[in-house]
Amino acid sequence: MQANVVVVGSLNMDLVTRTQRLPQPGETLFGDALQTVHGGKGANQAVAAARLGARVAMLGRVGSDAYGAQLRAGLLDEQIECSGVCSVPGGVSGVALIVVDAHSQNTIVVVPGANAALTPGDIESCDAMLQGAEVIVCQLEVPYDTVAHTLKRGRALNKTVILNPAPVNGPLPSQWLEAIDYLIPNESEAQALSGVVVDSLASAQRAAFKLIEAGARNVIVTLGAKGALFVSGQKVVHFAAPSVEAVDATAAGDTFVGAFSAALAQGKNEDQAIRFAQIAAALSVTRPGAQPSIPGLADVSAFAQS
């Protein structure tokens, strides 16, 4: 199988508990339940792209533990090419500790584990995958120099390069922005990247324009229930979100990115790809968990026709 979407990123085992509200600093709460769910931003986006019609390859690292074997097997079950997903001898797999409250808001603490062992050399060894792809997707749960190498190589190969800048600690290097076709932050990430306080649609637009001025080609700010904002040098478009009953927002952003990638790889234009991704993300928040919440192509098609 020649993948048309290659995802370079993280694989984590998510340990998810539900509480009535999120804890305050120093506070202990009782959780209602505990689930062990396959996750990691990279793996989530790969699964979303695969379920929504793309041929996907994943490049990443897992530990030589039980979680690592389970995470890799889960991707294989989704028909994702995993020759670039290797175990780190003696290493432990990445873990995410997730708390979800009664209003479907969450807090997440990520322990990178084997994800921190993914190197630029690992990407070089899988260069044939990058050459064969149409879309290359990165996030920031693996080392920055590995992301930088992937972005630069994707630009050199003239591929469509997507960066979901999460988690982010501040502005990105200008050479990164120049290598990215689509920068896809949420509101808090757009604020961290731009320095603009994002608390409205107008401020999200100002933040996106600042990122365009810094070198980004196209910016899509995901706004949750307020939709998504697309900004380029030529146009600004706000896409309203589909109306759904939210249960758990854990993988909504990852579902959007994976769905958007799959849609572009299948020849959809930007507007079509954003609307497609919005439906997929909206459906994901109606279900609990990370990868278990990601819808399939039939689900998105049925919603679009309803």
**Which residues on adjacent β-strands are paired with residue 131?**
none
> How far is the C-alpha of 8 from the C-alpha of 1, rounded, in Å?
17
Q: Is the dihedral of CA 181, 186, 191, 197 positive or negative?
A: positive
Instruction: List % helix, strand, coil for the chain (3-state, nearest 5).
Output: 40, 25, 35
**Known binding residues for substrate:** 12-14, 40-44, 141, 254
Instruction: Determine contact, residues 184/163, Cβ cutoff 8 Å.
Output: yes
- Give 4-70 as a 3 state SS string: CEEEECCCEEEEEEECCCCCCCCCCCCCCEEEEEEECHHHHHHHHHHHCCCCEEEEEEEECCHHHHH
Binding site as annotated, residues for K(+): 248, 250, 284, 287, 289, 293
DSSP 186: B
Of 32, 122, 199, 254, which is the active-site residue? 254
Q: What is the rounded distance in angstroms from the CA atom of residue 295 to the CA atom of residue 280?
A: 6
Q: Is 199 a catalytic residue?
A: no
Task: List phi, psi (to 5°) of 173.
Answer: -60, 145
Q: Which two tokens stand for residue 154?
A: 């994707």
The annotation places the binding site for ATP at: 186, 222-227, 253-254
Peptide bond into 112 cis (omega under 30): no
**Catalytic positions:** 254
